[in-house]
Amino acid sequence: AQKITQTQPGMFVQEKEAVTLDCTYDTSDQSYGLFWYKQPSSGEMIFLIYQGSYDEQNATEGRYSLNFQKARKSANLVISASQLGDSAMYFCAMREHAGGTSYGKLTFGQGTILTVHP
Amino acid sequence: EPEVTQTPSHQVTQMGQEVILRCVPISNHLYFYWYRQILGQKVEFLVSFYNNEISEKSEIFDDQFSVERPDGSNFTLKIRSTKLEDSAMYFCASTYLGGLSSGQYFGPGTRLTVT
């Protein structure tokens, strides 16, 4: 079974509008972390935002916010006021505690390609 | 701002040859990782390294792969006898802590092409 599922292979948004990228996850751990990374066409992986499973507030970082719904096991990324430079692949990832032996490996979803139109 | 660096940015090699991919993690980081991304696919974990030993490895990381931290700064991934299916982008990542909230910082990647 997939641990991280991103159901949107591609998304389109008009510049200056908000967009939500979906991510659902599967874990039996109580303690885990959720991450979003951006991968522009140049290929590097840029860390955007983090949400801990025990965090009561949704994480925010500038124009990025994470809509965390623990009961539904979803961690959607919301990008407000989209810019042309936001066009990229976006990956959702999870780090599980794995009984205390996890050394922090990330499990990634398949990614969503976001295209921002002018 | 400190960053993870990787060399070379692109490596072309013939099948059966050995390659060494090099990474310089952020200087005060303690946990190091290698991931790979086959073109158009998701990023996959290969191995994590802490306190000068492998702490976890995936099923992809078979006997053909090895990692080393030969000095205080470099972290290398060696593929002994490359196969066509090893063609991928290889990312090095590091983090200060191994805890759940520690964001992993990725290098720019090395694109390995096996012909």
Which of A6, A37, A106, A110 should one mutate to test binding to chain B, selecting the residue with the greatest count of B CBs within 10 A? A106
The answer to whether the beta carbons of residues A35 and A50 sit under 8 Å apart is: yes
Q: Which amino acid belongs to residue A102?
A: S
Which residue on chain B is closest to A5 by alpha carbon? B42
Q: Which residues of A touch B101 (CB under 8 A)?
A: 33, 50, 52
Element holding A64 (H helix, E strand): strand A64-69
Mean pLDDT of B80-94: 96
Q: How many CB pairs under 8 A join A and B?
A: 73
Q: Which amino acid belongs to residue B71?
A: D
User: What is the per-residue pLDDT across A47-105, written as a single tens digit (0 to 9) for each?
Assistant: 999 998 988 899 999 999 999 999 999 999 999 999 999 999 999 999 876 545 555 78
Q: Which amino acid belongs to residue A40?
A: P
Which residue on chain B is closest to A110 by alpha carbon? B42
The closest of B109, B77, B105, B89 to B3, measured between CA atoms, is B105
The answer to whether the beta carbons of residues A38 and A96 sit under 8 Å apart is: no
**DSSP secondary structure, A34-94, as one string:** EEEEEE-TT---EEEEEEETT-SSPPEETTEEEEEETTTTEEEEEE-S--GGG-EEEEEEE
Which residues 20-79 on chain B approach chain A with CB closer than 8 angstroms? 31, 33, 35, 41-45, 48, 50, 55-56, 58
- What would the two tokens of residue B72 be? 């205080």
Distance CA B69, CA B6 (A): 14
Mean pLDDT of B57-82: 93
| pLDDT mean across residues, chain A | 91
User: What is the per-residue pLDDT across B24-52, written as a single tens digit (0 to 9) for each?
Assistant: 999 888 889 999 999 988 999 999 998 88
- CA triple A33-B33-B60, angle to 5 deg: 100
Helix, strand, or coil (residue A4) = strand
- What would the two tokens of residue A21 be? 């990228």
User: What is the per-residue pLDDT across B10-27, written as a single tens digit (0 to 9) for each?
Assistant: 999 999 999 999 999 998
Cβ of residue B96 closer than 8 Å to a chain A Cβ: no
The beta-carbon neighbor of B48 closest among A50, A104, A107 is A104
Which residue on chain A is closest to B93 by alpha carbon? A45
Helix, strand, or coil (residue B85) = helix
**Tokens 């979906």 belong to residue:** A22
* pLDDT at res. B104: 83
